[in-house]
Amino acid sequence: MEIFGIPSPAFFGQLLLGLINGSFYAILSLGLAIIFGLLNIINFAHGAQYMVGAFVAWMALTWLGIGYWWSLILSPLAVGAVAVVIERTMLRHLYKLDHLYGLLLTFGLALVAEGVFKNYFGVSGSSYEVPELLQGGINLGFMYLPIYRAWVVVAAMAVCFSAWYAIERTSLGATLRAATQRPDLVQALGINVPVLLTATYAVGAALAAFAGVLAAPIMQVNPVMGSNLIIVVFAVVVIGGMGSILGSILTGLGLGVVEGLTKVFYPEASAVVIFVVMVLVLLVKPAGLFGKQA
């Protein structure tokens, strides 16, 4: 069977790969949106947090024998804890300044993290076994579906939609949204806004780490995996507009698929297609697809 002159296993394989990348874009741009919404900081360290998340899983398995499932919980907790320290000691002092300083500080932190991991682990990268339960695959007739890849898409989507639900449909989420609009008023209502800010940064970082653990078995665990990804995610954010949580998720997934399809039809352009889409969207809608303000 062929689709547009492409053998169907190749076509659907790339489509799946696109969906997987899209899932990562979605989680990461969601985390960025959550942090940006409340802290007004573009978290350049997001890619590093994703990379550290993957490395914590790798170290837990290689050095301590702690498996994938525990890592899925422990790694985000560990990265979240570090994020608490970063927010308390550094980011906190920048809220009153121009937000460019937040971007520059987190950029510096990303360089430090990347440099430290490069020194200890080199740049070549290490592999991480797919957990036993998710090994193998299913032959769907038109393509072969590795179970782990299906799991990544499902798990990522579950996390994204839980985050969406928590923010848009619960009272905690309502408080959070209120605090992005009027922190002074929310503070006056007896809610501890500084704690809310710390928690938000920690949750955002933990989301990135979770994505890192998910990525560990399918991508090479290496120190630059985050910095390569984060720039694409920034483009995704520009395209989506960071106006809404749902917008981040949909844009992330959609662009992953666009990238996957480009790989099928015009492989040379697959690395740039997202940036080309960014240019086109900026020409037509400078605020982005889901952007609220111009």
How many residues appear in the chain?
Answer: 294
Query: What is the nearest approach in angstroms of other proteins to the Cβ of residue 269?
Result: 9
The CA-CA-CA angle for residues 16, 152, 120, to 5°, reads 110
Report how far residue 19's alpha carbon sits from residue 25's, in angstroms, rounded to the nearest whole number.
Answer: 10
Q: Which is nearer to other proteins, 154 or 271 (CB)?
A: 271
Report how far residue 186's alpha carbon sits from residue 50's, in angstroms, rounded to the nearest whole number.
Answer: 31
Query: What is the nearest approach in angstroms of other proteins to the Cβ of residue 103?
Result: 6
Q: Which is nearer to other proteins, 143 or 237 (CB)?
A: 237
Q: Which is nearer to other proteins, 105 or 207 (CB)?
A: 105
Residues lying near other proteins in the complex (CB under 8 A) = 36, 42, 90, 93-94, 96-101, 103-105, 107-116, 118-119, 231, 234-235, 237-238, 268, 271-272, 275-276, 278-279, 282-283, 286-287
Q: Which is nearer to other proteins, 34 or 61 (CB)?
A: 34
> Where does 170-224 have alpha helices with state H?
171-181, 183-188, 193-215
Query: What is the nearest approach in angstroms of other proteins to the Cβ of residue 126?
Result: 17
Query: What is the nearest approach in angstroms of other proteins to the Cβ of residue 257?
Result: 19
Are 193 and 17 in contact, with CB atoms under 8 Å apart?
A: no
Ranges assigned E (strand) in the chain: 2-3, 6-7, 137-139, 144-146
